[in-house]
Amino acid sequence: MTSFSELNLSESLVKGLTALEYHDMTPIQATALPLILAGRDVIAQAQTGSGKTAAFALGLLHQLDTTVVRLHGLVLCPTRELADQVSKEIRRIARPLPNVKVLTLCGGVPLRPHLASLAHEPHIVVGTPGRILELIRKQALPLKALQILVLDEADRMLDMGFAADIDAIVKAPPQQRQTLLFSATYPEQTRAIAERHLRDPETVTIDNGDSGPDIEQRLYEVADGSRKLDALVDLLVTQRPESAIVFCNTRNDTRDVAESLDRCGFSVLALHGELDQRERDEMLVRFANRSCTVLVATDVAARGLDIKELPLVVNYDVASDADAHIHRIGRTGRAGARGLAITLMTPREAARISAIAERMGQALIRQPLPQVNGKPRPLLSAYLTIAVDGGRTDKLRPGDLLGALTGDAGLPGDAVGKIDIFPTRSYVAIARNHADSALKRLRDGKIKGRNFRVRPIGH
């Protein structure tokens, strides 16, 4: 079974999938979906980007009766970013169905709007464990009719310390429900959660023991650790990727590497745990819309990121274990695109490399560092981001910003990049050579007949 049309799905869902150009199932979908649609509890082990979101989204929507106003499905995610992405995917797949209400409920924002949004019961909720448990304890999230519970990226939620929250949440809804657990890796802690809370589950494993056919791995040894930054600069200049994530093991190294790259003239940002939610949102918007070329991050800060078309991942520090290494390099080589994963290794990290190679079942061959002749040319981003202090609550849509820029502001259409609309603010990527003109025109003109505060972000 390889086609969605072969499944026992409603005609509306099949037509919707066809409109989204979802025709053939990925391996995780082909294996897990028949079990999910049959109502079985499922443990599914597959890497990020394998199509797992569509698998459980179809499971949620297959049995949904939109005429009944009640909470039918709950999806737990490790981060707000992943929760937002999951919500968007569920809404896309649900378009053919009438009046499906999907709510995203995550921490980092005030509780009051979430309480107000729950005054009318949603069909599906996607959220992070801390906020979901808070709402359950306030008796604001009704779980008595819950039919399906999804634990997405369960290993990452447990790594982030959510074990007690997950246990409390899973015990709250009726026990006669369907539970789906998705995880990139299956360590002991994840196995224990599954044993406690799933009923006679079917286990589905999509073999991602190696990096997959679309990811090339390269290992470079840096004999002197103090030369590692120079090696990173040389590699970035040689590869010249449109975007890259550089992984460090500590928050301090993340900041130091980002500051050093910034001094070298790169468009770079540092993603770490000390950022507030707005700073994090803006940083990820800039990276996704190509207003930043290099994102330096720790494993914890980068969890839940889903950046499409990422050509390069660099392990500035060797990962602490094989599972973390596999998760890092899985950020590239997505959706059939070819990816490159580079690891810099000092002699002290040789034992970690051996353990990773053994776990992956493939040798990581050391290669000489590339030689860069002359002064390195930094990687400047193709775009700059302009923030508009208005969003969905102001009825702004991407078309309104595009119209204001290409119409009143007179910019060519190809000068406008990705547009992101949030509840109270919006972001638009503008080609560097048009950024000053776009900023001036938006400040002097109007968007949808109104004046909004407009400001550039970054440089």
**Over the stretch 386-406, which tens digit does the pLDDT of each residue have?**
999 999 889 898 989 988 888
**Could you give the percent of the chain with pLDDT greater than 90?**
39
SS3 content of the chain, % helix, strand, coil (to 5): 40, 20, 40
| pLDDT confidence bin for 304, thresholds 50/70/90 | low
pTM: 0.67
Confidence class for position 43, pLDDT limits 50, 70, 90: very high
* CA–CA dist 24, 327 (Å, integer): 25
Total Cβ atoms within 10 A of residue 458 = 15
Average confidence (pLDDT) over 192-215: 75
Q: Taking residues 27-44, report their average pLDDT.
A: 91
SS3 446: coil
Say whether pLDDT at 192 is over 80.
yes
**Cβ atoms 74, 103 nearer than 8 A:** no
173 within 8 A of 143, measured Cβ to Cβ: yes
pLDDT at position 374 is 66
Q: Where exactly are the structural domains of the chain?
A: 4-205, 215-367, 383-457
Looking from the CA of 246 toward its CB, the CA atoms found within 13 Å total 31
| The domains spanning 4-205 and 215-367 adopt the same CATH topology | yes
Residue 449 burial by Cβ neighbours in a 10 Å radius (0-12, 13-18, 19+): exposed
The reported pLDDT for the residue numbered 303 is 63
CATH architecture, range 215-367: 3-Layer(aba) Sandwich (3.40)
Which residue's structure tokens are 């490399």?
Answer: 353
pLDDT at 383 over 90: yes
> Which tokens in the block code for residue 234?
């040389």
CATH 3.40.50.300 describes domain 4-205: yes
Render pLDDT for 366-378 as a digit per residue (tens, 0 to 9): 888 887 776 666 7
At a CB cut-off of 8 Å and minimum separation 6, what does 10 contact? 62
CATH number of 383-457: 3.30.70.330
Tokens of 196: 């406690």
Chain mean pLDDT for the chain = 87
Predicted pLDDT of residue 408:
60
Give yes or no for residue 2 having a pLDDT over 80: no
